[in-house]
Structure 1
Amino acid sequence: MANGAMHLALPRFLLNKPIFYISTFFNIFEIVLFFIDGKLNSFSNYLLVTTKRRCTMEFYLAKTLTDTSFEVALDKVTSALKDQGFGVITEIDVKDTLKKKIDVDFRKYKILGACNPALAHQALESNDKIGIMLPCNVVVQETPEGKIEVSTVNPMEAMKPVATPELEQFAGKVTQHLQSVLDVL
């Protein structure tokens, strides 16, 4: 190869195949390049790198509820969290706080700090700085249209900056639990 340049020629058998095969070929080629370049030490890191680069997931999970009041939704969320092993350790009433602090009228909006002690312990054992990402925030709010929206942090996205195999596994478990909370509402 001239001037140290790398040339890629597709094998003839790939030329008339669906784009999936070509895409897969390039992904495999990319893995090889990562190994050669010393940037990759495991396949899971490759998946993390390519996921970060290729797709953007929402930083939150959410569900809109109809035909329910704010108070009933709040009770349902608290109960569903409890069923998944979470306790509500903080509750911030944003509407009241904004009224008291800056005399602003705001819609019904509460932030629940939810903690699953067993999962929190597991995460803290893996990385003692992970406490800055705890507890999991769950928001219950009344939308301008009068519907109730419940949203929560997406742990899989929140943990990306500090991802290790242990924390990825932890984030996956927490995401499943929080999605289960939303599913039963």
Structure 2
Amino acid sequence: MNFHYTVDSSKGMEETVSSLEQNLKEEKFGILWDFDLTGKLQEKGMDFNTPYRVLEVCNPAEANRVISKNKLVGYFLPCKIAVYEDNGQTKIGMPLPTTLIELADDPELTNIAKDIEERLIGCIDKSK
């Protein structure tokens, strides 16, 4: 079972994140937090030099819909998209919402997660 979706980007980090932000807006997702993992690890004295950002993204209407159905789904929110460099190549990836939501064992939530997953994959694909 594949738990993630990851693609290569032809753009650098900043351009990829900027493009991703615009494409997410078109699907009514906003970036709640842009976490610079590299900077934080370096701040804590770690020898980590790989550019790595974790974007926490949310569509408020969808979040309300799933959390109203099952409060435990909040454990999976917000959705996360990682943008990082690997051997000089910018990558964009995310854990698959459908894989995470399987833990809730609710077919209605699985259908919602499938729709969200397809929309986020679309945003990632447009951003690469």
Measured in 2, the distance between the counterparts of 1:164 and 1:140 equals 30
Written as runs of structure 1 = structure 2, the 5 A alignment for 1:145-156 is 146-156=88-98
Equivalent-residue separation in structure 2 for 1:184 and 1:120 (angstroms): 23
The alignment partner of 2:114 has SS state of: helix
Q: Which residue of 2 aligns with 1:183?
A: 125
RMSD over aligned Cα atoms: 1.1
TM-score w.r.t. the length of structure 2 is: 0.94
Greater per-residue strand proportion: 2
Deviation, 1:106, is 2.0
Q: TM (normalized to structure 1)?
A: 0.66
Give the superposition deviation at 1:124: 0.6
Equivalent position SS for 1:102: coil
Distance 1:103 1:150 in 2: 23
Distance in structure 2 (CA, Å) of the matches to 1:61 and 1:70: 18
SS of match in other structure, 1:137: strand
In 1, Cα distance between equivalents of 2:105 and 2:21? 29
May I ask how many residue pairs the two structures share in their alignment? Answer: 127
Aligned to 2:52: 109
User: Is 1:61 aligned with 2:27?
Assistant: no
The aligned counterpart of 1:99 is 42
Match of 2:18 among 72, 75, 79: 75
1:71-112 deviation digits (Å, cap 9, x = unpaired): 111101111111111100111101100100133232110000
Query: Is this contact kept in 2: 1:155–1:171, CA < 8 A?
Result: yes
Matches within 5 A, 1:1-185: 56=1, 58-66=2-10, 68-144=11-87, 146-185=88-127
**Percent pairwise identity:** 24
Structure 1 contact 126–166 (Cα < 8 Å) conserved = no
Q: Which consecutive residues of structure 1, in runs of 5 or more, have no partner in the other structure? A: 1-55
Structure 2 alignment gaps of length 5 or more: none
Instruction: Tell which has more relative contact order, 1 or 2 (C-alpha 8 A, sep 6+).
Output: 2
The structure that is helix-richer by fraction is 1
Deviation readout 1:96-149 (Å, 9 max, x if unpaired): 0010013323211000000011110110111012111000000000112x1110
Secondary structure in 2 matching 1:159: helix
Runs in 1 of length 4+ with deviation above 2 angstroms?
Answer: none
Q: Secondary structure at the match of 1:106?
A: coil
